[in-house]
Structure 1
């Protein structure tokens, strides 16, 4: 037995592997599995399709900004104020249904839940091209918020069910980089589709919605087959490979990888955890700026003196740069093993970009600041998403935490639409100032998260969180931390609250 001065948590961290009798499916021999080859195959089956789905998700959500440049608001007789209201109402159902959607996703199959959402929002997107008045615009934006609500948090949770914590940054970065590619292609596609102006007696902006919506519907039908659900049921894996992946996740303190039965207490664990509320502040810091950037970038560039078509084309380089930096930061974050300082640098870069936008009265300088914004906002999202998801153990708890954090971040995005007012063009000082304020909130929130996690890790190193475990003599164990028949029982019940769990900084 270890020295009494060595805490229970320290003993378990020092021995990350399970004893053989505690392995998942101990009857299955996985010695012949090539881990690198298997993970490459999983990458090819999981990440590219998710990237395609998020590409369509982001394009369908933001193409209204491109359509506006082609006289959409004039054709349906919508004022600037009404347009901003229509953009805002999208976020209320979007944010409201995100936590619930993630719980449903866990209880159902991702292939069914995610694919159904994709199909429905594709139909709603087609309906965007058929509206004729303000009421129709508000209706389709509300419905789009409802049908898209579970996609982003669902994908993040789904990725966390396949990969170790130290691998999630680059995986999320690859799938999220499709958002920047979507932003770039949205401008190009809008310019191309607008050439259909007059076909079928429909305006070009209507064809933007109709064709992009139909593409989403087609992809949704394929998704029922392409999405592979969880490792324990994946069709492209052999039985030995499924067992290997689950054991691999369990070694990374992902005990819920083998399946977790729904219990209400897992929901309450998330609601009572301070990390959930700190994560909501972090998401507030980058989600609001993300929507302000993606929905208003074409308008901002247009008001700097460029025509509608040229403004749409000039959105491409900032998004391309954002894609490059997103992937680079994803790789760097996983290799460094720490995310706080990287996140701090990104938020600071974003703050610098918006300070320039506030002060600048030069189109060229403002356009340069847009690049700073893209290189900060987009990489911040996968970096912080991986940080939050990696520090929450338990499938249902993680799904609720991600749903709440992402939902809160999105509801704050609604605030920007009333700040980017036509009367403030071309410089939009008020809107840029609000974005800067949100970035400051993000800086404060990541600092709170870092300090809190560091303090909690230190407490666990000192044995202050040790549980009473039957058969283990541990002088530091305290009944207030729980009493369990085995270490594995404590890990399964407490998730990241278990004394041996160490938070990544």
Structure 2
């Protein structure tokens, strides 16, 4: 719920304020968590921590989509998510040092979990994070105009219906509620949400099951580079499905080796396939969802939907490895194989659906755009449309209205596969 609410507020409040505020509150709540003295107090702080944590990730992806084109987005998302790998690479040593503080100043070791640095990073963001290209202080006016024009061309953007000079009564935009409903009903959003559920279930189950292995090799710089290179390739050739499918297949191979082998060394080595595989899927799914959702409100709702369903996968994954017995963990590993295979199936079905939808838009172009076409006064039409003039401004505005109402369903909007 917080992910959906957060995304709808990004444009109204401004990402330059909202994202640093979320980070600052996250760090502050983490700091205060160390002061609780009861289980009930710990649950309360974890509740509020979940509220701000759920709002950050999807809002950041949405924010990046306002600065980068579709051919650049996934690589940036991968770099953002790869910071998780860097953090986990040092988490073992950090945890060891934190636990050594047990009893210091009367606090248990867990109470020293860091939050101060997060607060500093959040407060710094208020001064350095621009809400939009127009507000980027390091860019000249010429550079800002160039980047805005470049994004408009790349994202097939239309003139805005929210300009103060736009006659909204004459060309009303689609309501926020309707845009959100459209996003939740879109087949490709549903498919990507299912895939994100499976992906997050894989990620969390692996993270919970192999904590000592993960801190020693699972999030090495090599893995980080693998994510980045695969995402760069996906951006370069605009092939989200192949990138996600390859990562999921890598995870399937790793899980299958873990399931079928009796050698501890080989089972350990299989994690080198499964861990990069499960973590390599998410950037592709996030970028793919953003690529094929327009306008802004619908894109925000689509990303939030994926995030919400993904969090359910995180809850589901907690129980996966309680269903099996060591050392084989047969049933949990089988479930992970199934979930990784489900990602591949969702990718294949999504490609088939997008290609069908693309052909259908082209075939029915005139029918789709009919109600957004200015008509002659002698034609039988809606009385309100009879009042429209055919000056260039009307043509531009009704075109903007078509883009606002149709979004990614507009015949000129090209899907990414």
TM-score by length of 2: 0.84
The structure-2 alpha-carbon separation of the partners of 1:259 and 1:175, relative to structure 1 and needing over 3 Å to count, comes to farther
CA distance in 2 between counterparts of 1:137 and 1:425 reads 31
Q: CA deviation at 1:231?
A: 1.3
Q: Deviations over 1:371-405 (max 9, x none)?
A: 11222112211122111111112111100100011
Question: Which of 294, 306, 313 is the equivalent residue of 1:405?
Answer: 306
- Asked if 1:346 is matched to 2:346, the reply is no
Alignment of 1:480-491 (within 5 A): 485=395, 486-491=398-403
CA distance in 2 between counterparts of 1:240 and 1:117 reads 32
Q: CA deviation at 1:260?
A: 5.2
> Unpaired segments of 5 or more residues in structure 2?
164-172, 377-381, 389-393
Corresponding position of 2:119 = 217
Residues 75 and 231 in structure 2, CA contact (< 8 A), matched pair in contact too: yes
Residues 158 and 403 in structure 2, CA contact (< 8 A), matched pair in contact too: no
Corresponding position of 1:499 = 411
The structure-2 alpha-carbon separation of the partners of 1:466 and 1:422, relative to structure 1 and needing over 3 Å to count, comes to closer
Question: Which of 274, 279, 304 is the equivalent residue of 1:378?
Answer: 279
CA distance in 2 between counterparts of 1:222 and 1:495 reads 35
Q: CA deviation at 1:427?
A: 4.2
Q: CA deviation at 1:258?
A: 6.3
- SS for the counterpart of 1:255 is coil
Aligned residues: 387
- SS for the counterpart of 1:150 is helix
> Unpaired segments of 5 or more residues in structure 1?
1-95, 299-310, 474-478
- Asked if 1:274 is matched to 2:202, the reply is no
Question: Which of 72, 78, 92 is the equivalent residue of 1:173?
Answer: 78
Question: Which of 294, 317, 326 is the equivalent residue of 2:217?
Answer: 317
The structure-2 alpha-carbon separation of the partners of 1:243 and 1:142, relative to structure 1 and needing over 3 Å to count, comes to same
Residues 85 and 219 in structure 2, CA contact (< 8 A), matched pair in contact too: yes
Q: CA deviation at 1:256?
A: 6.3
Corresponding position of 2:344 = 443
CA distance in 1 between counterparts of 2:161 and 2:217 reads 43
CA distance in 2 between counterparts of 1:349 and 1:148 reads 29
CA distance in 2 between counterparts of 1:236 and 1:258 reads 25
Q: CA deviation at 1:254?
A: 4.4
RMSD of Structure 2 on Structure 1 (CA): 2.8
The structure-2 alpha-carbon separation of the partners of 1:240 and 1:137, relative to structure 1 and needing over 3 Å to count, comes to same
Q: CA deviation at 1:171?
A: 1.1
The structure-2 alpha-carbon separation of the partners of 1:216 and 1:358, relative to structure 1 and needing over 3 Å to count, comes to same
Residues 416 and 434 in structure 1, CA contact (< 8 A), matched pair in contact too: no
CA distance in 2 between counterparts of 1:170 and 1:422 reads 36
Residues 324 and 330 in structure 2, CA contact (< 8 A), matched pair in contact too: no
CA distance in 2 between counterparts of 1:489 and 1:259 reads 7
Corresponding position of 1:97 = 2
Q: CA deviation at 1:125?
A: 1.8
Corresponding position of 2:91 = 186
Alignment of 1:122-161 (within 5 A): 122-132=27-37, 134-161=39-66
Residues 106 and 396 in structure 1, CA contact (< 8 A), matched pair in contact too: no
CA distance in 1 between counterparts of 2:33 and 2:325 reads 27
Alignment of 1:415-426 (within 5 A): 415-421=316-322, 424-426=325-327
Residues 115 and 223 in structure 1, CA contact (< 8 A), matched pair in contact too: yes
Q: Deviations over 1:430-474 (max 9, x none)?
A: 43333223222222211221100011122234355651364799x
CA distance in 1 between counterparts of 2:162 and 2:349 reads 30
Q: CA deviation at 1:346?
A: 1.2
The structure-2 alpha-carbon separation of the partners of 1:440 and 1:423, relative to structure 1 and needing over 3 Å to count, comes to closer
Residues 114 and 151 in structure 1, CA contact (< 8 A), matched pair in contact too: yes
CA distance in 2 between counterparts of 1:124 and 1:428 reads 36
Question: Which of 137, 143, 146 is the equivalent residue of 1:241?
Answer: 143
- SS for the counterpart of 1:315 is helix
Corresponding position of 2:153 = 251
The structure-2 alpha-carbon separation of the partners of 1:166 and 1:259, relative to structure 1 and needing over 3 Å to count, comes to farther
The structure-2 alpha-carbon separation of the partners of 1:421 and 1:114, relative to structure 1 and needing over 3 Å to count, comes to same
- SS for the counterpart of 2:350 is helix
Residues 285 and 443 in structure 1, CA contact (< 8 A), matched pair in contact too: no
Q: CA deviation at 1:361?
A: 4.2
TM-score by length of 1: 0.70
Corresponding position of 2:369 = 467
Question: Which of 119, 123, 133 is the equivalent residue of 1:231?
Answer: 133
Question: Which of 2, 11, 17 is the equivalent residue of 1:112?
Answer: 17
CA distance in 2 between counterparts of 1:360 and 1:126 reads 44
CA distance in 1 between counterparts of 2:161 and 2:58 reads 19
Residues 240 and 288 in structure 2, CA contact (< 8 A), matched pair in contact too: yes
Corresponding position of 2:170 = none
